[in-house]
Amino acid sequence: MNTKCVQDLRPLPELIQRRDGTNDEPGEWQIDPCPADRGVPRTAVLLKHMVVPVQNYQLDRVIRAHEMMHAKVSPGDRGPWLDRGIASSRALVAAEECRVNFLVNKAGFDISILEDGTEMNAGERIAERGDWAEAVYYMACLSGTGGVNKYLTGIRRHKPGWGPRLRRIHELLQKELRRIWRQEGRRSLTSTTTRTGRDPANELIDGFFHTEAIAEYLDRLADSPISKDDLESHRLQRAEDAGTWAQLNVKEQNLTRHVPGGLGKRRIASNMGRNPRRLSRLLTDPQKRIFDRKVKGNGGVVLIDYSGSMSLSEKDVLEIMEAAPGCTVACYSTNDWDRDGKPNLWVLGARGRMTTAIPRSRI
């Protein structure tokens, strides 16, 4: 009796090393077998769970490499990236698929076989309903794989004008990834370094900044169909260009110390008035300012950059406050993972009073 032995080739993500602390805790990953169908394989880095084909077929091997690359370079949680408001969730997913496929190819796997036969039908459905945004995102997911031509064939059956534009988007994405690889190096594109390396659920990994920049580009392209020529005018944002405003959390320190000479009304000499209170100036002052007039004390706002790069000591900050007695004085300091609701701007002086307790910088 002939028997056929089916190999069970489960990956070992436990061996993967990252710099953000994700895989530091010892523990076995849960590996669940699945068919080699698009959308079924997946990896949950923080939960140590991978759903992946485990048989000894060429397509299964490439899919395993794809999921292992996710375990190696993808963030455990996209929430902090969505909170930045730079790119949409759909764009981040599509851009990360594009980056991971590029890295799998650089690792020596033939991603031209990475297709499951559904690409043409997907292209037809997307084009039939006129969903340009999804056409762009789906193109990014397939970029670099063997499913590109079949997908574009499906697109052209209902939207022939979209084909050249989507192919150009595919070419521009691959061009940008090659540029990063060539100019900034492999480490930049694959880095999982974070600020502390101890909080993978909340901190931002360096390599994903490239994904975020590509995702922001995809969101711009997805707004409305544009001509192939207009694509060239849409500059793909570099990772170092991306940024967003942090949430401002203000705290007023206990203002326990009086600062003399700053607030309230005071009298100064004037050459106009009713009562000559300063007759002695009649002989000594060329402007004959023998009268008084009342003026308000100096005001204004002094904002101090209290980040670590400024190297300001508590003594320096106190001297700034004493030199601006009538001003509202505040200092700010923030960081890349500033989403914990803790203060990042402190009011140190106001209304003629100042604090003696200078907060510690967050950087």
**Residue 118 CB neighbour total at 10 angstroms:** 16
Whether 8 has a pLDDT exceeding 50, the answer reads yes
Whether 271 has a pLDDT exceeding 50, the answer reads yes
Rounded-to-integer distance, Cα 212 and Cα 191, Å: 14
- Tell me the backbone φ, ψ of residue 348, rounded to 5 degrees: -100, -25
> 149-158, 261-270, 290-299, 313-322: which has the minimum mean pLDDT?
261-270
User: Are 278 and 179 within one domain?
Assistant: no
> 43-57, 278-292, 331-345: which has the minimum mean pLDDT?
331-345
pLDDT confidence tier of residue 145, bands split at 50, 70 and 90: very high
What is the mean pLDDT of the segment spanning 255-279? 79
What is the mean pLDDT of the segment spanning 112-139? 95
Q: Check: CB of residue 150 under 8 Å from CB of residue 123.
A: yes
User: Are 205 and 76 within one domain?
Assistant: yes
User: For residue 87, which of 188, 217, 202, 240 has the smallest C-alpha distance?
Assistant: 217
What is the mean pLDDT of the segment spanning 101-119? 95
User: Are 51 and 171 within one domain?
Assistant: yes
305 in a structural domain: yes
347 in a structural domain: yes
Cβ-proximal residues to 40 (8 Å cutoff; 6+ apart), any chain = 34, 51
3 in a structural domain: no
pLDDT tens-digit series, residues 153-208: 999 999 999 999 999 999 999 999 999 999 998 899 999 988 777 777 788 899 99
Pairing of strands 49-52, 353-354: unpaired
**Residue 40 CB neighbour total at 10 angstroms:** 13
Element (H or E) spanning 189, and its range?
helix 186-190
User: Are 290 and 358 within one domain?
Assistant: no
User: Are 103 and 174 within one domain?
Assistant: yes
Cβ-proximal residues to 177 (8 Å cutoff; 6+ apart), any chain = 98, 99, 102, 189
Q: Which of 72-76, 311-315, 337-341 has the highest mean pLDDT?
A: 72-76
278 in a structural domain: yes
User: Are 350 and 280 within one domain?
Assistant: no
User: Are 189 and 308 within one domain?
Assistant: no
**Residue 33 CB neighbour total at 10 angstroms:** 12
pLDDT confidence tier of residue 125, bands split at 50, 70 and 90: very high
pLDDT confidence tier of residue 30, bands split at 50, 70 and 90: very high
Count of domains in the chain?
A: 3
User: For residue 148, which of 177, 128, 123, 173 has the smallest C-alpha distance?
Assistant: 123
What is the reported pLDDT for 6? 58
pLDDT confidence tier of residue 1, bands split at 50, 70 and 90: very low
pLDDT confidence tier of residue 270, bands split at 50, 70 and 90: confident
User: Are 353 and 270 within one domain?
Assistant: no
Six-digit token string for 315:
């003594």
What is the mean pLDDT of the segment spanning 251-260? 85
Q: Which of 23-27, 257-261, 345-349, 358-362 has the highest mean pLDDT?
A: 345-349
> 207-211, 235-239, 268-272: which has the minimum mean pLDDT?
235-239
User: Are 89 and 166 within one domain?
Assistant: yes
> 91-95, 197-201, 347-351: which has the minimum mean pLDDT?
197-201
Q: Check: CB of residue 163 under 8 Å from CB of residue 155.
A: yes
Q: Check: CB of residue 70 under 8 Å from CB of residue 211.
A: no
User: Are 358 and 309 within one domain?
Assistant: yes
User: Are 305 and 283 within one domain?
Assistant: no
Domain extent at residue 282: 265-297
User: Are 39 and 143 within one domain?
Assistant: yes
252: which strand partners? 347
The radius of gyration of the chain from alpha carbons, rounded to an integer in Å, stands at: 31
Q: How far apart are the first and last CA of the chain?
A: 70
